[in-house]
Amino acid sequence: MTVEQITRSIDARGMPCPGPLMSLIGAIREGQVGDVIEVLSSDEGSKTDIPAWIAKAKHELVEVVSEAGFARFIVRKAR
Amino acid sequence: MEETNDTLSLVLFSGTDDKLAAAAVLTVGAAAMGRSVNLFLQYWALDAFRADRILKDHGVSAEAGPEGASFMRLMSETGGQQHWSTLLSQAKDIGEVGIHACALSMDMFGITKEELDPIVDDVEGVAAFMGEATGPIVFI
């Protein structure tokens, strides 16, 4: 279980690649530094795309939680 | 986001929805990862970017066959995938993406800049495009 205070949660389940990543990018752009954004994705591509983008964009991947049929990505806007 | 100098250049030749969608996914991915992207629209791809038909059905490539074509139609109705032009708009929104119409193809098809969808930035000659194409070039 995550202890992070979620600022915003995005349910992108059912969206195909690259939809969940694009939703996350949009939320990061709109958010404030320190915000914690949760993305729920059932897209397999997200498992590689979201960590790759976070590393590139220098944000923080707090946690990835595997759930039944989807994954929960917890991301902190770092800058 | 840290920018790299690896500009991705995509030459879009085919005007079918499957190939345009594949190109749009590559564009949005490259833009997300901080690469600048240049698209050069030639022939049937250019034709698909006409303002009055960009959202119309452009069919699928020949290799899809009849079965693949009906699968693609079903996917477009139920798959939840965004239209390739929407993906390209998103790519422009998050990154440095230029969409250029090939001057020769414009002439060949008798298309004017005003007839193109506003997502197209400008009309460019092939030498100008190649001058900017310092990284890999993908032909679709």
B4 touches chain A (CB under 8 A): no
Query: Under an 8 A CB cutoff, do B94 and A17 touch?
Result: no
Q: Does the beta-carbon distance from B94 to A25 stay under 8 Å?
A: yes
d(CA A24, CA A44): 15
- Topology at the third CATH level for domain A8-76: Translation Initiation Factor IF3 (3.30.110)
Residue range A20-65, pLDDT digits in tens = 999 999 999 999 999 999 999 999 999 999 999 999 999 999 999 9
- Name, in order, each residue with C-beta under 8 angstroms of B70's C-beta and a sequence gap of 6 or more: none
Q: Which domains does chain B have, with CATH numbers?
A: 8-139 (3.40.1260.10)
Which among B32, B34, B81 has the least Cβ separation from residue A21?
Answer: B32
Radius of gyration of chain B, Cα coordinates, nearest whole angstrom: 15
DSSP 8-state assignment for residue B36 = -
Domain map (residue ranges) of chain A: 8-76
At A40, which helix (H) or strand (E)?
Answer: strand A36-41
- CB contacts < 8 A, A to B, total 35
Determine which helix (DSSP H) or strand (DSSP E) holds A41, and give its type and residue range: strand A36-41
Q: Does position B15 have pLDDT exceeding 80, yes or no?
A: yes
Interface contact B90-A49, CB threshold 8 A:
no
The model's pTM: 0.89
Angle at A24 between CA A22 and CA A26, to 5 degrees: 70
